[in-house]
Amino acid sequence: MKFHNVSCPHGCSEAVLSLDTGYRASVTMVQKGCWTGPPTGRMLSDDHALPPDYSVVRGCVTDLCNTNLMTHDSIPNLSPAPNPPTLSGLQCYACLGIHPEDCTPEKSRLVHCHQDQSVCFQGNGKMTVGNFSVPVYIRTCHRPSCTIKGTSSPWTNIDLQGSCCEGHLCNRDSVTQSFTTAAATAPFQAALVMAPLLVVSLLLGLWA
């Protein structure tokens, strides 16, 4: 791709965010431009977060130093097979997209959930770098706690809201609805209680 060249007063940046269902469906967001964040900061990792994601930000101060665009091939595998290869016995819909129509039940895959993922999840949210955001819609398997352990960062975040349900293919409700902790329409339902998540990340400094 041909990118526009711009003059930046505080250096250049590139950021890559990727969100995955854990079942071979992902959305990746890349932003390149001027550095607008704090000069240093941390993005902590959590290898057990669900849904799995990846985030990395680079800052640099020489001309056109942010040309090393990361690709899908350089992002870690966010859909590894379970080890040991055991399944929970539950089936859920799995999909991920930036438009609601990307994630209708008709366009979703039917997946056999891994190991301790014995409930189905559906939700929505956004992926954000600086002041630029992209909406995301998701269905996948989850753990019974239906929580996400994760952290925010000075530059990026992936915010999700959603709910879990028990039963085969129970996550077929609208992914555009507003999810709240008060929702309790299913026999079992737990709200997602912690939103910003960053599964793989680095300790970064702009002037490194």
Q: Is residue 33 part of a domain?
A: yes
SS3 140: strand
Q: Measured in whole angstroms, how far is the alpha carbon of residue 64 from the centre of its chain?
A: 28
Q: Which residue matches tokens 């002041």?
A: 131
Q: Is residue 5 part of a domain?
A: no
Find the CATH number of the domain harbouring 200: 2.10.60.10
Q: How many helices (H) and strands (E) does the chain have?
A: 0, 11
Tally of domains in the chain: 1
Q: Is residue 107 part of a domain?
A: yes
Q: Half-sphere exposure (CA, 13 Å, Cβ side) for 140?
A: 26
The tens place of each residue's pLDDT in the chain, 208 residues long, gives 677 888 998 889 888 888 999 999 999 888 888 887 776 677 766 767 789 888 888 888 888 888 876 665 668 888 988 888 899 999 999 999 999 999 999 999 999 999 999 999 999 999 988 788 999 999 999 999 998 764 467 788 888 899 999 999 999 999 999 986 433 333 333 333 323 333 332 223 333 3
User: By residue range, what is the domain housing residue 46?
Assistant: 12-205
Q: Is residue 4 part of a domain?
A: no
